[in-house]
Amino acid sequence: MRQVPFAGFAGAIVVFCWGMVSWMVTPLHDRSVRGLADEDAVRRAIQTQGIESGLYVVPGLPNAAGVATAEDMEQRMTRWLQRHREGPLMSIFVKVEGAEPMSAPILITGFFIDWVSATIAAFVLWLSLGRCQDYLARVGLVTLLGVFAATFCHLSYWNWMWFPLDHTLAMFVDVIVSWIFAGLIIGALIRPTRQPVDLLG
């Protein structure tokens, strides 16, 4: 158990560094995150809406606010269905205040998230040492946790929120590669003892 915090910290360093490399050095995300042809026009349109920071979808989801009768709600739903079928469909993440790119708080928070995630992975591996005594098996278990995270998160966004397939695949590769690297470190630090811990039965 004493290995877990250190292995989590070491794994977080690897995940954090790979994130920097994947976004700033490799071409993995070059084509999956695009800019707009007339960015200023879109900025002005959002500013004139007077909206707050948050997540917005287009077409906006129909709700019962201000609806007097069931027929009015049915008409609102009909309009929403028509707009949804015609497109365009958008998920818009808005931060009205702006922010300093790659600021120290963002980097620190990002590393903390990686640290918590890697520590969870190290703890799961520690619980599984009775079944993962071989080094490659330990690396494989941590990698499998990355595959789980990528599948559940990014494929869900692709399916439910219409995230583009190229962006989804880029993020899928990004996450899995980061946890392969983390697995190489965590698997080396979380090792079986003479009496392996097997809490899974």
Place of tokens 């990686």: 114
Q: Can you give the pTM of this predicted structure?
A: 0.84
What per-residue confidence (pLDDT) applies to 46? 87
Distance from chain centroid for Cα 83: 28
The amino acid sitting at 196 is P
What per-residue confidence (pLDDT) applies to 75? 87
> Residue 193: left if φ>0, alpha if ψ -120 to 50, beta else—which one?
beta
Q: Does position 196 have pLDDT exceeding 80, yes or no?
A: no
The fraction of the chain above a pLDDT of 70, given in percent, is: 94
What per-residue confidence (pLDDT) applies to 73? 81
Q: Does position 142 have pLDDT exceeding 60, yes or no?
A: yes
Average pLDDT over residues 133-139: 93
Q: How confident is the model at residue 201 (pLDDT cuts 50, 70, 90)?
A: low
Q: How many Cβ atoms are within 10 Å of 88's Cβ, its own excluded?
A: 8
Q: According to the 3-state scheme, what is the secondary structure of the chain?
A: CCHHHHHHHHHHHHHHHHHHHHHHCCCCCCCCCCCCCCHHHHHHHHHHHCCCCEEEEECCCCCCCCCCCHHHHHHHHHHHHHHHHHCCCEEEEECCCCCCCCCHHHHHHHHHHHHHHHHHHHHHHHHCCCCCCCHHHHHHHHHHHHHHHHHHHHHHHHHHCCCCHHHHHHHHHHHHHHHHHHHHHHHHHCCCCCCCCCCCC
Q: How confident is the model at residue 131 (pLDDT cuts 50, 70, 90)?
A: confident
Burial class (CB in 10 A: 0-12, 13-18, 19+), 185: buried
Lowest-pLDDT choice from 2-6, 7-11, 123-127: 2-6
The answer to whether residues 175 and 154 touch, using CB atoms and an 8 Å cutoff, is: yes
Q: Does position 37 have pLDDT exceeding 80, yes or no?
A: yes
